Structure 1
């Protein structure tokens, strides 16, 4: 066996789980992009993704034999609404932006989470968080720099970038709500409210748009793959977090952007621009510093 492969297998168990999770999420993004390119509406992709998650979450609830509706139902519903908006926005951005750029913009969510937590959870902002905010802002400016030019030749729209940022912001809102709910609710109850809200909302919007497409065998395969890959990625992420400090192991999660860039180049002829690469360094550095500071604080 080659030395490089030996070093890979020498990684801590938590790191290997995180790499599996990152690859799973990146592959899911590629399947979402392929499904969109094949003619499936984003809302249909969201609806099927939510339906698969709802079935799997319901099985988990039944296995645990716990009440499904939870205690703080208004807040649980709010978590579902934020998650639904985030899912629609993220899937739209993935189908319209290069995969690496869409996923990269999601890493701005720690900035939004920190600000929201300050106001709603009274959590203090430390130096690491301040650095994260500054670096994320610089990174965002670099990633979107070509759009500021009047002579830009790129066909990437501001709507797609706005969707990616909306996904990051509403994801942060969901994270803050989950932190609050974690004090009283079982994790499985928190999880199931996401598809419980997302499935009917996306289905109603899909019907209202009259954009439902009967999927071909290829499209159906992609839809099932999206649901399965998300489940694998979530399980691997949970296992990684359960055996190691979250701040420490999350550093391995940033390789998701690398996986996404490779998949984009291999299957969609997407070559990351210099602006995207430069912005990515700042955004990932900011997210890494934020999680590293939290890791040190928890020791």
Structure 2
């Protein structure tokens, strides 16, 4: 496949990943008022382990990979990120939690440069700057949004862990199949979340079980699209494209939770969209 087609598919994959994760946020928000974050992570891990195992068997791929310690490390970091993200989604408005999560692209670009030696081009820097400005506008709609500092700090920690996980995926892409990387994430999350759930178990209702299944399903889809795209794109460019998740979150928040969308939110969303379009218009030069 030509590099241009491969890059285009990877970019579209990042958009699909963002949509899937935004739907995951809706499901988490539906149960977050009563079900602890660790229990949501456990439910997600159970669903994703089953789906990943089925996909690996169907593709005839060994699930255990080559760089197992790095795969486990990626799972540990990803689990920490999920705990923070789910806790923030439960405590904050959907759009606000998603916006704070999108502090991770600058972290990712910096870590990819420090750890992987990836060069950050001018167009990607411009896209990140536009997206960052859009995030700030959405975070302060009308200047009247007041967020509790505890969930805000949790969301920022989730952004940092997410950046570390993204960079590790980029490194693992050199040796591992995408489905193997996706499989290790819930495989590690399962034993890590069990002790936390045992401390404060909550029996979900039948409707909550459906929402928890939705968390697992949409997270699995998002992870598959994300992992494949990160293996084909530089980490900084991929995360700049994924800013479109803020748009999705704002739409779901308005439709399902009655979250107001004012001029500040619209302006921020426009900048986020501009960041995505700048990234999509990038054309790699032949050497």
Say whether the fold is shared (TM-score over 0.5).
yes
User: Quick one: which of 80, 89, 112 aligns to 2:84?
Assistant: 89
Over 3 Å counting, the alpha-carbon distance change for 1:100 and 1:224 in structure 2 is: same
- Partner residue, 1:199: 190
Per the TM alignment, residue 54 of structure 1 is displaced from its structure 2 partner at its CA by: 1.0
Aligned CA-pair RMSD = 3.7
1:182-193 map, 5 Å:
182-193=173-184
Partner of 2:65: helix, strand, or coil?
A: coil
Task: Measure, in 2, the Cα distance between the counterparts of 1:245 and 1:121.
Answer: 13
Residues 138-168 of structure 1 deviation map (CA, whole Å, 9 limit, x = unaligned): 4454445589x8xx6x452123233333222
Q: Deviations over 1:18-62 (max 9, x none)?
A: 77655443222111101112x111110111001110111122233
Give the aligned partner of residue 220 of structure 1.
209
Structure 2: where are the runs of 5+ without partners? 1-7
What CA distance in whole angstroms lies between the structure 2 residues aligned with 1:15 and 1:190? 19
Relative to structure 1, is the Cα distance of residues 29 and 263 closer, same or farther in structure 2, using a 3 angstrom cutoff? same
Equivalent position SS for 1:194: helix
Q: Give the aligned partner of residue 28 of structure 1.
A: 24
Q: 1:41-92, CA deviations, whole angstroms, 9 ceiling, x for partnerless residues?
A: 1110111001110111122233344433222122111111121111112212
May I ask how many residue pairs the two structures share in their alignment? Answer: 277
Work out the CA distance in 2 between the residues paired with 1:281 and 1:159. 29
Q: Which residue of 2 aligns with 1:159?
A: 150
TM-score for both structures, normalised by structure 1: 0.76
| Counterparts in 2 of 1:146 and 1:16: CA distance versus 1, 3 Å | closer
What is the rounded CA distance, in whole Å, between the counterparts of 2:124 and 2:276 in structure 1? 9
User: Does residue 42 of structure 1 match 2:2?
Assistant: no
Deviation at 1:276, TM superposition (A): 4.0
Shift of 1:194: 0.6
TM-score scaled to structure 2, two decimals?
0.79
Deviation (angstroms), 1:269: 1.9
The match for 1:101 among 96, 99, 104 is 96
Native 8 Å contact 1:28 1:230 kept in 2: yes
Query: Are the structure 2 counterparts of residues 192 and 52 from structure 1 closer, same or farther at C-alpha, using a change threshold of 3 Å?
Result: same
- CA 1:129–1:158: 2 relative to 1, 3 Å: farther
The residue aligned with 2:124 is 129
Instruction: Tell me the secondary structure at the aligned position of residue 125 of structure 2.
Output: helix
**Residue segments in structure 1 that go unaligned for 5+ positions in a row:** 1-11
The separation in 2 between residues aligned to 1:238 and 1:192, in whole angstroms, is 13
Map of 1:6 onto structure 2:
none
SS across alignment from 2:204: coil
Aligned match for 1:177, one of 168, 180, 189: 168
Q: Distance in 1 between matches of 2:284 and 2:209?
A: 46
Return the index of the structure with the highest Cα Rg: 1
